[in-house]
Each structure stands twice: as C-alpha cells, then as structure tokens.
C-alpha cells in the first residue's frame, strides 16, 4: 500500500435504516470542513450488480453519477453533503464483487486454484476498498458497509474489514459502529442490551469497534454511556449520542457537538488542520429553519407512496427553498389519480407542478392531463426526463392536433414525437441499457434555462432510452415549444421551453442529481421562485 489515506469503516447493528449514510456523510462533512480531502464509498451486500434494475419501491431512487454508474441513493447524500462528485468506485455490490471474481476465474487468472470466499472474494473487496485511497486524492476514505452485522450476506465484507484493520493497524484505520438504543416507554428506560449483542457479533467476527454512534430518541445519560463503554470496550468519550434530528442537515452539527470528528482524528493520530469551518452550512440551516415565504408544489409521479423513490428531487426542493427563504411543501400526487374530470380538483391550490421521471406506461395519461392543465392555466411547470417527454407529447397532441405519443408507451403510434434513436437501438441490442451519465448541453441565450444557469455550456446527468424526435422539431418549435438546449455533438434535444408562459421548462436530464447544500440547482431555485411569483399573483 503506497497511499497515505486513512480508512474509516461504518458498520451497523441492531436494525437497518438507522441512517449510516447520513452519519458517514456528516463525519465526512466535518473532516472536509477542517480542510481534509474525504470521500465515501458504500458496499451493498445484495447480488444485483448495481441497483439499476431494482424497483424504486424496493430500493428507493437509483442515483446516477457523472461517469454513468447506477448507484445507491446514499451516494446522493454523500454528494449533497460534500459537494464532491462520486463515481462507480463509490458503490460496490456483492454482485459486482462476485462478477469480477468469476470473470477472472473464467479467463484463467487463478491458475487452476480453487476459488473461494476467503481469500478471493475478500481480496476483491479489499482491492475495491483501496482503489479510492490509492488515487492519492484523499486523506480519508469512509466505507459504509450496508446491512447489519450478523447478516449472512455481509459476512465477507466484515471479514475484509477485519483484515484491513489487521494489515493497516489502528493509526490508519478505525471502525465506527452505528447502533440503536431503544427507549421503553413502559419501563421509562433506555436499553443497552441490543447494542451489547451487536457489538458481541462484531467481536465474534474479530472486530473491536473504536467508536459507538448511538441512535436514540432521548438524550443518553452518563450512566448509560458508562455502561455502553464498559460492556463494549470503548472509551467513554467514544460513545457518541445521535439524537433524532428535525432534518438530516442538522446531523453534522449534532455530531460536531458530540465531537465525533475529534474522536476520529485523535484515534487516527491525525493532527487537525483547523477547527471545522461551518459558516456556510450554518447559514443554509438558518435559512432552512426560518423561511419567510411558503409555496406548495405538486410532484406528479408513479412511485409517490415511497418518497425515497424521488429522494434527490425532494432534497433539491429543500436546497432551493432555503435559497429562496421559502418553505416548499411538496404534495405527492399519483398520476393515476389525474383524469380530465379530476385534474382541477387534484391540482387545486398548487403554485407549481413538477412531473417526475419514470418508466413504463402506468399513469402516463394522468401526467399528460396535468401538463395540459398547467400549460393552459399558466401555472409553473418543471418536467424532468419522462416529465419533459410527456410535455412534448401533450403539446403535439393538444396544440398541433397530432395523434402523437412516445414509442415507449405506444410502439405503433402514428407520430412518434419521442422515440428511440438509431444509435440507442444499437446499444440496446448490444445489451447496454440506457444513455447514462454526464453529457454536454448548449443553452440558447435568452432562454429561462440560460438565465438560471448563467452560462451557455452545462453538463448534466442522464438515465433514459428515448429522445425528442428531431423530425418533429421544426413543427413543434413553430407552434411555440422551443428546444433551447441541445447536445452539441448529437443535436439531441435536452431542454424545451414554452413561449408565452411564465415558467414552463422540461429537461431530458436529471438536474436533481447535482443539487447540493452549497450549490442548490439553479433550475430548482428558479422553479421555486416562479411558483412563489405565481402564488403572489394569486
């Protein structure tokens, strides 16, 4: 190992959903605020090679990085907190690890040896752990191990962590264990037993955690902290309380109060460069918590019963709201609820409508109906990916009078205004899936998008198969829906805007993926501003 990066592992115990990703991102944020270079990586113990094929109902949103990796939604938190880009190396699943090992086995790289979980799978895990550190770009690599200790599927990861700890020693690596301290109402007591058991499981696997981060509804009294320290072999000041927070963006501040960052630096024998500079973060929190305005926007989508399916959109509204000193109430609307008869009632009182990305047919006519309503009633509209495609279909049908559709929804449509391009068909036949990752887009001066970004060349992330069909471009533009952003190489349409409408913008890409606390996405900022304006105009 040539690099000097230090490795911090975050494991979880007792139950899932304790927020390992947020704790990891908060620690990273605090270290970054001290001037260190930090990145976070997540290991997911499932067998899918990536979450691209997972149903959002099951796993929440699929987060796409600049290099086109389809990843876990925790990477979104990492980017939102750190304002640093992630990549495929930041998210590795068991499926990918096995796939790499089996591919090597097939090409004879193991020279006839029996290929086994230990050492071959664990070596491949370790190779992936060290990959980011060896780039020389980072002081700290935080590796989040998905799932709970004790799960069968996380065993090889836990074993790899044990080996890394052994190889690197305690000055270069440490383990933070995130656990739950339940409060029993009837007994009026916080209980440490589940944590003791989960630390025992870690010890059985050969890992002594250095720091315990304890999720709790109640403050942890000293005697509980002492008990945890004694039974789990950690220093008293390494028992960190993680109280439930009003917003995930409070967590770095809470972790700072509990001195998580100081404990980490002390254990890793690392001199702090400076006290963390959190001014901008605190300014954001101040705006977030003291809004002077309020707007209600509708998010029309297919997976509205599971808000994690649109995580990045929800967070982008939080960032853009704070920027506008405005509380954004997001009303989640199932597109299946919307028909010609119900649309006025369902969208009543909303100051703006966002039509969400998605795949497949269900609820599509509802999305189109919602778009007709906001176009005709001059309500701010923001269409993302499928939302933009629906806007093109709606316009072609109701303004141009074409019997139009997207070939994703009706392969036999007379007017395929949204269609799969020949290039994409070739990729799909080859087993590739989608147009993924960052592409360049040129914006027309004078457009709302250009005004929002304040520049002509932008790079945004994609995840789709279908495109605006340029055969209809002239006809659609003439009638007033303008293509104001295009890809300079392929001429594919990236942004459409409606003339004579206060704010009607559809984008083929996913702006929500690049919104961060310190850099709220300009289109979300402007959409919230337009919604506020709409509300003021009554």
Where does this chain bind ligand GLN (CB under 6 A)?
357-359, 385-386, 408, 463-466
Q: Which is nearer to ligand GLN, 317 or 466 (CB)?
A: 466
Annotated catalytic residue 337? no
The CA R_g of the chain, rounded to the nearest whole Å, is 25
Of the pair 239, 313, the CB lying nearest ligand GLN is at 313
CB of 534 to ligand GLN, least distance (A): 25
Show the CA angle centred on residue 116, arms to residues 110 and 117, nearest 5°.
130
Task: Identify whether 148 is a catalytic site residue.
Answer: no
Rounded to the nearest whole angstrom, what is the least distance from the CB of residue 47 to ligand GLN in the complex?
A: 24
Per the residue annotation, which of 214, 232, 385, 441 is the catalytic one?
A: 385
CA angle 432, 438, 439 (to 5 degrees): 95
HSE-CB of 333 using CA atoms within 13 angstroms: 29
- Closer CB to ligand GLN, residue 367 or residue 482? 367
Q: Please, are residues 76 and 178 in contact by the beta-carbon 8 Å criterion?
A: no
Kindly tell me which of 357 and 416 has the beta carbon lying closer to ligand GLN.
357
Least CB distance from residue 48 to ligand GLN, whole Å? 18
Give the residue with the Cβ less far from ligand GLN, 288 or 507. Answer: 507
* 464 token code pair: 């789709």
Residue 281 · residue 517 · CB < 8 Å: yes
CB-CB contact of 199 with 166 (8 Å)? no
Whether the ω angle into residue 49 lies within 30 degrees of 0, i.e. cis, is no
H runs (alpha helix) in 172-250: 193-204, 222-232
Residue with tokens 């360049």: 440
Q: Structure tokens of 52?
A: 């691209």
Q: Is the Cβ of residue 110 or residue 359 nearer to ligand GLN in the bound state?
A: 359
Instruction: Determine which helix (DSSP H) or strand (DSSP E) holds 462, and give its type and residue range.
Output: strand 457-464
Q: Which residue out of 510, 521, 529, 534 is catalytically annotated?
A: 510
DSSP string covering 48-99, please?
Answer: SSSGGGS-HHHH-PPEE-TT--EE-THHHHHHHHH-----GGGEEEHHHHHH
Instruction: Report the residue number, 132 or 385, with the smaller CB distance to ligand GLN.
Output: 385
| CA distances in angstroms from 214 to 67, 174, 253, 454, listed in the order given | 35, 17, 16, 44
Q: How far apart are CA 73 and CA 64, in angstroms?
A: 9
CA-to-CA dists, residue 80 to 36, 341, 386, 484, 512, angstroms: 17, 40, 24, 28, 10
Closer Cβ to ligand GLN, 231 or 359, answer by number: 359
How many angstroms separate the CA atoms of 51 and 45, rounded?
11
| 326 part of the active site | no
Angle between helix 260-267 and helix 20-33 axes, rounded to 10 deg: 70
CB nearer to ligand GLN: pick between 28 and 385:
385
**At closest approach, how far in Å is the CB of 512 from ligand GLN?**
11
User: Cβ of residue 436: shortest distance to ligand GLN, in angstroms?
Assistant: 10
Select from 472, 12, 499 the least CA-distant residue to 207.
12
For ligand GLN, which is the closer residue by CB, 375 or 465?
465
**Minimum distance from CB of 497 to ligand GLN (Å)?**
18
Task: Report H helices in 416-472.
Answer: 422-429, 448-453
Six-digit token pair at 87? Answer: 């990549």
CB of 422 to ligand GLN, least distance (A): 15
User: What tokens appear for 519 in the block?
Assistant: 């850099």
CB of 117 to ligand GLN, least distance (A): 36
Residue 466 Cβ vs ligand GLN, minimum distance, rounded to whole Å: 3
Instruction: Give the span between the Cα atoms of 370 and 524, in whole angstroms.
Output: 19
| Residue 532 and residue 292 in contact, taking contact as beta carbons nearer than 8 Å | no
Q: Any residues with CB less than 8 A from the CB of 116 and at least 6 apart, and which?
A: none
**Helix (H) and strand (E) counts in the chain:** 19, 23
In the complex, minimum distance from the CB of residue 353 to ligand GLN, in angstroms, rounded to a whole number: 16
> Contact, 226 vs 212, CB < 8 A?
no
Of 394, 460, 497, 512, the catalytic one is 512
Catalytic residues: 385, 510, 512
């Amino acid at each position: 190992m040539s690099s000097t990066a230090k490795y911090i592992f975050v494991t979880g115990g007792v139950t899932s959903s304790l927020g390992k990703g947020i704790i990891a991102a908060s620690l990273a944020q605090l270290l970054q605020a001290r001037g260190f270079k930090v990145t976070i990586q997540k290991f997911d113990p499932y067998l899918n090679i990536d979450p691209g094929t997972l149903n959002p109902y099951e796993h929440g949103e699929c987060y796409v990085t600049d290099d086109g990796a389809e990843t876990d939604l925790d990477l979104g938190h990492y980017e939102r907190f750190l304002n640093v880009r992630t990549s495929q190396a930041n998210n590795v699943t068991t499926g990918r690890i096995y796939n790499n090992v089996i591919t090597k086995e097939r090409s004879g790289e193991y020279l006839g040896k029996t290929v086994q979980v230990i050492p071959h799978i664990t070596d491949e895990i370790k190779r992936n752990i060290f990959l980011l550190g060896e780039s020389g770009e980072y002081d700290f690599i935080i590796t989040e191990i998905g799932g709970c200790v004790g799960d069968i599927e996380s065993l090889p990861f836990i074993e790899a962590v044990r080996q890394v700890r052994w190889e690197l020693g305690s000055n270069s690596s440490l383990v933070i264990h995130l656990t739950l301290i339940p409060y029993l109402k009837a007994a009026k007591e916080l209980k440490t037993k589940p944590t003791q058991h989960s630390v025992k499981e870690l010890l059985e696997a050969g890992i002594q955690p250095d720091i315990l981060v304890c999720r709790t509804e109640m403050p942890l009294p000293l005697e509980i902290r002492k008990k945890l320290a004694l039974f789990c072999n950690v220093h008293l000041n390494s028992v960190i309380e993680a109280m439930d927070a009003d917003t995930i963006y409070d967590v770095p501040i809470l972790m700072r109060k509990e001195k998580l960052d100081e404990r980490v630096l002390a254990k890793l024998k690392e001199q702090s460069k400076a006290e963390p500079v959190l001014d901008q973060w605190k300014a954001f929190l101040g705006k977030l918590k003291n809004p002077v305005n309020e707007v209600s926007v509708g998010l029309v989508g297919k997976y509205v019963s599971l808000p994690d399916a649109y995580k990045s959109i929800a967070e982008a509204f939080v960032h853009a709201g704070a920027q506008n000193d405005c509380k954004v109430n997001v009303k989640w609307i199932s597109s299946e609820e919307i028909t010609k008869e119900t649309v006025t009632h369902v969208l009543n009182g909303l100051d703006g409508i966002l039509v969400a990305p998605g795949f497949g047919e269900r609820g599509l006519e509802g999305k189109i109906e919602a778009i007709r309503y906001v176009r005709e009633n001059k309500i701010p509209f923001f269409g993302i990916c499928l939302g933009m495609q629906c806007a093109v279909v709606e316009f072609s049908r109701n303004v141009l009078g074409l019997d139009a559709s997207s070939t994703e929804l009706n392969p036999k449509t007379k007017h395929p205004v949204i269609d799969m391009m020949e290039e994409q068909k070739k990729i799909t036949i080859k087993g590739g899936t989608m147009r993924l990752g960052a592409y360049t887009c040129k914006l027309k001066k004078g457009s709302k998008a250009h005004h929002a970004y304040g520049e002509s060349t932008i790079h945004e992330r994609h995840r789709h198969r279908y495109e605006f069909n340029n055969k209809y471009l002239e006809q659609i533009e003439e009638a007033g829906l303008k293509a104001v952003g295009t890809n300079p190489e392929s001429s594919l349409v990236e942004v459409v805007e409606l003339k004579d409408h206060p704010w009607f913008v559809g984008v083929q890409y996913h702006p929500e993926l690049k919104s961060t606390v310190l850099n709220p996405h300009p289109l979300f900022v402007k959409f919230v501003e337009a919604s506020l304006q709409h509300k003021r105009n009554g």
